[in-house]
Amino acid sequence: MKIAILHVGDLEHLALGGVDQYIKNIIRDRKDNKITIFGTCVKGKYDIGKVYNIKNGNLEYDFFPISDDSMRPLTLGYLLSERKYLNKILEYDVVYAQRIETVLPFVLKKHKTPIIQVVHGSSYYTTMHWNKLKSWIYEFFEKITIGIADETNVVLMRSEFGVPYYKKKYKKYANKIGYAKIPVNTDIFRQLDKLECKKKLELPQDDFIVLYGGRVEDNPKRVLLIPQIIQKALQLHKNIHLVVVGDGTDLEKLRLDLNNSLPQEAYTVVGYLEDRDKFVQYLNASDANINISEFEGTCTSSLEAIACEAKIISTDVGDIRLFVKEGKDGFVIANCEDTIVDDSVNAIISLAENKIEMSGTYKNYDCHQVVAELFAHFEALLDE
């Protein structure tokens, strides 16, 4: 099966976070299927319209640049640049399009090749953060692309902005809207020996380790509440140690707050960490993974932590309740500014003093299984 993946990036230099990892997981488990990425490249890095065979570790795929990063998505130049290559794209058995801007150029273009569109976020976000005109324009384009695509799969299930939201908003196309699982690479995010990881990372072996891993930004992550949470937890349980892995605009402010509120031996700030294997060691060394963000989407980082057997303390955001089951895996606390600190402290103490089971929900998102299901779905579409 020949699969054309449309992507606003190149998997090498124009990283788009979770979308890049999503595509890389598909490539890793491609088996005998041929994959070509039709995407955006750094200007001058590649010739537009020429095919390149890319080999990077265990990743091998063809890359066909259809635009460069001087063209912004959803602009006329970008759309016209992709439109030049629609006939080439439609020679493939299946078109798997990431984001609406890669589907919009197909407007008024007849096609027999199945086009499956993936929504990696939600247009609901635009109503929260954009002005009314900009939000209306985006939703107008989105409605067009849902009409063009044979299927639109949303990576979120939460009723407020996921699949139910889309089915209600676009009732005419409700039967074409479904759910796309986010695959977790369980070859990387896996359970290791906790004590061994603590030793390697020089973390206190007898302490209850609370890990924050992610962007160090108070908006929307509320990271500046963490010092207060750990300070209160230490008043109730002496052996608690905080580890912060990540970078962001509020890293130095967080360092200062930690220094002013906690003893030096009660926390470790790692900062930016490029080595993913080492980050997996930190996940395994931790006893609890904390996320008190005001807003999240798929909560993939929590799912990765669960795959490493770390318990979760999270506000009720995104799809967290798909992964953290009642009485297992950790605690989901109210997304309420007034109660977050006390609820987080109570969750930490409860996890430090009691053992809870893990439900194994991450196995439903194992990349090998998810990609196999995806390819089986493609085959079924071709057999119709």
Cβ–Cβ under 8 Å, residues 348 and 229:
yes
Per-residue pLDDT tens for 27-41? Answer: 999 999 999 999 999
Per-residue pLDDT tens for 120-141? Answer: 989 988 888 789 999 999 999 9
Q: What are 306's two structure tokens?
A: 């669960």
Please check whether residue 102 lies inside any domain of the structure: yes
88 and 165 part of one domain: yes
Q: What are 163's two structure tokens?
A: 């699949």
Please check whether residue 296 lies inside any domain of the structure: yes
Binning pLDDT at 50, 70 and 90, where does residue 350 land?
A: very high
- Whether the pLDDT of residue 256 is over 70: the answer is yes
Please check whether residue 203 lies inside any domain of the structure: yes
Name the DSSP letter for residue 369: H
Rounded to an integer, what distance in angstroms lies between the CA atom of residue 64 and that of residue 52?
6
Per-residue pLDDT tens for 59-102? Answer: 899 999 999 999 888 888 889 999 999 999 999 999 999 989 99
139 and 215 part of one domain: no
Please check whether residue 189 lies inside any domain of the structure: no
229 and 356 part of one domain: yes
Please check whether residue 124 lies inside any domain of the structure: yes
As for how many domains the chain has, the answer is: 2
- SS3 state at 290: strand
Per-residue pLDDT tens for 163-184? Answer: 999 999 999 999 999 999 999 9
Binning pLDDT at 50, 70 and 90, where does residue 330 land?
A: very high
Name the DSSP letter for residue 121: S
Q: What is the mean pLDDT of residues 300-311?
A: 95
Q: What are 24's two structure tokens?
A: 């890389």
Q: What is the mean pLDDT of residues 209-217?
A: 96
Amino acid letter, 241: H
Rounded to an integer, what distance in angstroms lies between the CA atom of residue 320 and that of residue 236?
27
- SS3 state at 137: helix
- Beta-bridged to residue 118, according to DSSP, are 98, 153
What is the sign of the dihedral through the CA atoms of 27, 12, 79 and 157? positive
141 and 248 part of one domain: no
- Whether the pLDDT of residue 328 is over 80: the answer is yes
Cα 298 to its chain centre, rounded Å, is: 6
Please check whether residue 188 lies inside any domain of the structure: no
Amino acid letter, 338: D
In the chain, what percentage of residues exceed pLDDT 70? 99
> Of 276, 281, 284, which Cα lies nearest the Cα of 57?
276
Residues in the chain: 384
207 and 332 part of one domain: yes
199 and 341 part of one domain: yes
201 and 120 part of one domain: no
Domain that holds residue 166: 2-183+366-383
124 and 237 part of one domain: no
Cβ–Cβ under 8 Å, residues 221 and 251:
no
115 and 205 part of one domain: no
Mean model confidence pLDDT for the chain = 94
The Cβ of residue 272 has, within 10 Å, a number of other Cβ atoms equal to: 10
Check which CATH number belongs to the domain holding 86 and give it. 3.40.50.2000
19 and 139 part of one domain: yes
Please check whether residue 101 lies inside any domain of the structure: yes
Q: What are 113's two structure tokens?
A: 């090749």
Which range among 56-70, 144-158, 206-220, 235-249 shows the weakest confidence by mean pLDDT? 56-70
251 and 222 part of one domain: yes
Confidence (pLDDT) at 288: 97
Cβ–Cβ under 8 Å, residues 296 and 317:
yes
286 and 379 part of one domain: no
Confidence (pLDDT) at 17: 64
Q: What are 279's two structure tokens?
A: 């980050």
Confidence (pLDDT) at 15: 61
Please check whether residue 114 lies inside any domain of the structure: yes
